[in-house]
């Protein structure tokens, strides 16, 4: 379990990084925390010619608030969020998600951008940030663009980065007062990748809500308009109105044929809804 030979460089600034990503011959991989790429290199599942270490680039480590949007650089670690070293506009929702990602050593090194670009369907950020309505900032030599996260993650381990592009930052909208948030995952053991994830962001006052069913075969199943899950209407009584059959139908429509898997995913979503309806969310958003 040793990687195939590769070259290693550590660009000092964004311009240098974008230049190398665009022009380096052969295959290139970016490494930040290395919590997924490291094992993949060792298992020789990937054999890049060049690995670019992006942790020396100040822009990628920045975190700032722009009005009602929190902008987290791609190299912000899960532990940065867990420990409150970056600002928050989500009433602690991000912090709770971060604190239950894998194990502390993984959180110390693993980054929010790395998790999104790796796009494991069972990863917490892929699902939680989709439910929160986050977007990603993408940079290339020819400029920058922004994509909603649901259009960035296109499949299991697949994202909409063009050749020469990198993920720069994540843009997370604030959770307005009165917004209910629930995030539950089901793991075989603490710290393992989830077998099912349910996330809901509900504004009972506005009658709006988003829901995500995650840890599925492909990208998260997003209900950008979650009203069908609640009998067509979202109000203060949303938890009582949750309709498991509607969630099951959504999963069938998404191609989940296995009834046992559907049952587990619907159960986890139902618990996320119940959590959202409680005033004080549990510190560890895990079902098992």
Sheet order of strands, 166-173 included: 63-66, 69-73, 166-173, 135-140, 143-148
Residue ranges of the alpha helices (H) in 100-144?
A: 104-109, 112-118, 124-132
State in angstroms the smallest separation of the CB of 69 from other proteins: 34
State in angstroms the smallest separation of the CB of 39 from other proteins: 7
Q: Which is nearer to other proteins, 2 or 162 (by Cβ)?
A: 2
Applying CB under 8 A, which residues contact other proteins?
A: 1-5, 39, 43-44, 186, 188-193, 195-196, 258-260, 263-264, 267-268, 287-288
Q: Which is nearer to other proteins, 106 or 147 (by Cβ)?
A: 106
Q: 183 φ, ψ to 5°?
A: -145, 120
Beta-strand pair 50-53/7-9: parallel
Q: Which is nearer to other proteins, 65 or 284 (by Cβ)?
A: 284
Do the Cβ atoms of 122 and 214 come closer than 8 Å? yes
Q: Which is nearer to other proteins, 38 or 155 (by Cβ)?
A: 38
State in angstroms the smallest separation of the CB of 122 from other proteins: 10
State in angstroms the smallest separation of the CB of 112 from other proteins: 20
> Exposed/middle/buried for 79, CB within 10 Å: 0-12, 13-18, 19+?
buried
């Amino acid at each position: 379990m040793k990687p195939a030979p590769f070259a290693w460089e550590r660009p000092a600034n964004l311009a240098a990084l974008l230049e190398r990503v665009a022009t380096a011959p052969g295959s290139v991989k970016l490494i930040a925390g290395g919590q997924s790429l490291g094992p993949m290199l060792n298992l020789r599942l990937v054999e890049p010619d060049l690995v670019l270490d992006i942790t020396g680039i100040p822009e990628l480590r920045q975190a700032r608030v722009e009005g009602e949007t929190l902008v987290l650089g791609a190299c912000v670690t899960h532990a940065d969020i867990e420990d409150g070293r970056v600002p928050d506009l989500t009433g602690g929702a991000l912090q709770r998600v971060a604190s239950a990602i894998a194990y502390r050593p993984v959180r110390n090194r693993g980054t929010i951008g790395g998790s999104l670009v790796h796009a494991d369907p069972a990863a917490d950020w892929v699902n939680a940030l989709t439910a929160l309505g986050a977007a990603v900032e993408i940079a290339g030599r020819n400029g920058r663009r922004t994509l909603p996260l649901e259009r960035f993650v296109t499949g299991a381990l697949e994202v909409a980065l063009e050749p020469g592009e990198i993920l720069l930052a994540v843009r997370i909208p604030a959770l307005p007062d009165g917004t209910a948030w629930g995030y539950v995952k089901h793991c075989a053991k603490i710290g393992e990748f989830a077998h099912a994830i349910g996330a809901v962001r509900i504004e009972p006052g506005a009658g709006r809500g988003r829901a995500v069913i995650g840890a599925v075969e492909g990208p998260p199943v997003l209900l950008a308009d979650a009203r069908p899950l609640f009998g067509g209407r979202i109000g203060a009584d949303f938890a009582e109105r949750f309709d498991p059959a509607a969630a099951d139908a959504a999963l069938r429509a998404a191609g989940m044929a296995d009834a046992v898997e559907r049952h587990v995913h619907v159960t986890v979503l139902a618990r996320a809804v119940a959590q959202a309806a409680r005033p004080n969310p549990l510190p560890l958003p895990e079902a098992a």
